[in-house]
Amino acid sequence: MTRILLPEHKERPLVFYLAMEEYIAGETGIGDAFFMWTVAPTVIFGRNQVMEAEVNLPWCRKHGVSTYRRKSGGGCVYSDRGNLMISYITSSGKVRDVFSEYLGRLADAVSALGVEAEVSGRNDIMIGGKKVSGNAFQMLPSRSIVHGTLLFDTDFDALEAAITPSEDKIAGKGVKSVRQHVVNLKSCLGDRASAAGVTDMDSLQSYLYGWFCDSSYMLDGDDVRRIEEIQNEYLDPDFIAGKSRNGTYIRKSKIDRVGEIAFRISLDGGLIDDVSVSGDYFSLKEPAEVDALFRSALAMVPMERKAVSEALGKLPVGEYILNLNVSCISSVFFDND
């Protein structure tokens, strides 16, 4: 795997690195690629999430915390200089296989430091029942991007203040707060940090590059300028705000191996007029395609369990949202008032 290097060592906004992933995946001939980065305090939320529902915007503005939307699915993440962000780009295998293989390798790398780390659920790595790494993916026509976090010495006071996950999501993990669900690798290592040679962010990065990479590639100034052009897409206010979510009814639930999913449903005379979907699930299609799938199936259908179930029929929802199946959608519509 190839380590990607930048010609200048300086702190950049989080979305620069998301653009860098896209550039490497879509516009270079580099094979399997890997790089890591840290940022000033920032909140990044998933492509399909409603910003106002996930982010404590007043607190972030007051404390100078940047907020961005990414193009991949998954949940809301707070990152600071104590959190290592990791990017992996590959053209091999199916998404599920790539995701599983990468999570396994990262868990093995953490375990080799002397703590027991294991893959949990669809996208987390846990130590002692607490989350130390969360991950998401983005599909491109011929490449897959996997990116995620590795908490090393993150400020959990700021993390808890900056993001506002739903009560259902927290309760589903058996905890009362975000803080109870996460852990820093540094605290887990304790006295073993020195023996493992991982005492700070720099040594952690060196260790992981040695674990994952066997070659390197240096980008040049032209590469950086193109990345900055792609970065502008993430800075578009319309993209950050997300697609319109107007609706009369909101039906949501947390589904095992899928994540939190919410349907916003507009009714006209008791018939479904419009449907849009949000949540921290992983999309296998563009958000507009996901909305269109449900909109076309449910347009002018009565808001009744039997009618909705029949309209959904054998809709290929698993090809649009990872691990979703039709059987659970009706219960989201009607069992979560």
Written as one letter, the residue type at 195 is A
Cβ atoms 43, 165 nearer than 8 A: no
- Percentage of the chain lying above the pLDDT 70 cut: 92
| pTM: predicted TM-score of the whole model, two decimal places | 0.74
Highest-pLDDT range among 34-43, 86-95, 157-166, 288-297: 34-43
Mean per-residue pLDDT for 222-230? Answer: 97
Give residue-wise pLDDT tens across range 139-187: 777 788 898 999 999 999 999 999 986 554 434 444 334 556 899 999 9
Mean per-residue pLDDT for 82-95? Answer: 87
The CA distances from residue 187 to 11, 112, 182, 191, 242, in Å, are 25, 16, 11, 9, 37
Q: How far apart are CA 95 and CA 110, in angstroms?
A: 23
Place of tokens 């179930």: 309
Give residue-wise pLDDT tens across range 29-81: 899 999 999 999 999 988 878 787 889 989 999 999 999 998 877 788 999 99
Q: How far apart are CA 294 and CA 257, in angstroms?
A: 20
